Amino acid sequence: MLLNYRILFILFCAFSISKSVYSQTAIPSNVQDTLSIWQLAKYDAKAAVLGVGHAYSRPLYWDGKDWTTFGIVAGGTALLYFVDDETSSYFRRQRDRLPRPLREFGDRFGSPQVAYGLTSSVYLFGLFTKNQKVRETGVLMISSATAAGFLQTVLKASVGRSRPQNGQGKFDFKPFSGQAGWRSFPSGHTILAFTAAYSIAKQFDNPWVKAGIYAVGLISPLSRVWDGAHYLTDVALSMAISIATVDAIDNYLNKNNLYPDGRKKPGISWNLHLGLGRVGIVGSF
């Protein structure tokens, strides 16, 4: 509950920084370098809150390709749903075979304290050193974590899916029950951990570096499955939410050229390939 109020407080403060929250005028890089820490913080806060609003509004502007991607994600999730109980049992059996440091890292990295601590540290380092690229990364991480985090808070309460460790099975739901055992979807650890990892990975060109960062970001989602806190579909769809949110906000920052020296890097591009006797999904990054 405390986290819910924190997210709402962040949103309220961000919307209060300016009389106009519907547009952001880009400031050239050489001018940003001359601004005070406070002026940069206000500029970044406004960029962050507008990024959050942009992410929430994107479904209203989806085109055919976006709806195709949505259909692929929905279809893939539906297929995984059929084997949720089986995959959960399998992952939970592997738990004790995994190294304790790996299990502890997975649990802690996706926690709100660590995730928001990392996000804040990245942004504050960029702010006080006036490193524009690091500031932009921090803004992307903060706004993405806020947008996706608030969404997962609402969905957890409204969906009310039973956790695997309850032993009730994948079809058990208690919407708006408020009970911790019925907050399986989506996975907050997954959203916070993978949102941070995906945002950071966007700043690198090397695909091996990207893959390494993605691998670190996957530890928390997998840890939630082998701990019995979430089903595989919970973490898979949570990752899709993270990717969509980060991409939407990153596109907003780039399209409006709010950080002129920032490299404009695409996220993971998912493409559906159809042919005679074959069908496939290819992700490129």
In a domain, 79, yes or no: yes
- Rounded Cα distance between 241 and 226, Å, is 21
Give the pLDDT of residue 134.
94
Tens digit of each residue's pLDDT (9 = 90 or more) over 64-73: 888 999 999 9
Neighbouring residues of 221: CB distance < 8 A, sequence distance ≥ 6:
110, 187, 189, 190, 193, 194, 235, 238, 239
Give the pLDDT of residue 23.
63
Tens digit of each residue's pLDDT (9 = 90 or more) over 190-229: 999 999 999 999 999 899 999 999 999 999 999 999 999 9
Neighbours of 4 (CB within 10 A): 14
**pLDDT tens-place values along the chain, 285 residues long:** 444 444 444 444 444 443 444 567 778 877 787 888 999 999 999 999 999 999 999 999 988 888 999 999 999 999 999 999 999 999 999 888 888 888 889 888 988 899 899 999 999 999 999 999 999 999 999 999 999 999 999 999 899 999 999 988 899 999 998 888 899 999 999 999 999 999 999 999 899 999 999 999 999 999 999 999 999 999 999 999 999 999 999 999 999 999 986 444 444 444 444 443 444 444 444
In a domain, 249, yes or no: yes
- Rounded Cα distance between 72 and 282, Å, is 11
Structure tokens at 60: 């209203």
Q: Which backbone phi and psi does 99 adopt, to 5 degrees?
A: -60, 140
Residue carrying the six token digits 């929250």: 21
Give the pLDDT of residue 15.
46
Structure tokens at 247: 């991409």
* Tally of structural domains, the chain: 1
Strand-pair partners of 281: 272
Structure tokens at 88: 């959960």
In a domain, 101, yes or no: yes
- Rounded Cα distance between 266 and 255, Å, is 12
Long-range contacts of 158-163 (CB under 8 A, 24+ apart): 159/185, 161/185, 161/231, 161/234, 163/228, 163/229, 163/230
Neighbours of 259 (CB within 10 A): 24
Neighbouring residues of 21: CB distance < 8 A, sequence distance ≥ 6:
15, 46, 49, 50, 53
- Rounded Cα distance between 151 and 141, Å, is 15
Strand-pair partners of 173: 161
In a domain, 17, yes or no: no
In a domain, 18, yes or no: no
Residues spanned by the domain of 177: 2-12+25-284
Where in 19-118 does DSSP place strands (E)? none
For residue 193, the domain's CATH number is: 1.20.144
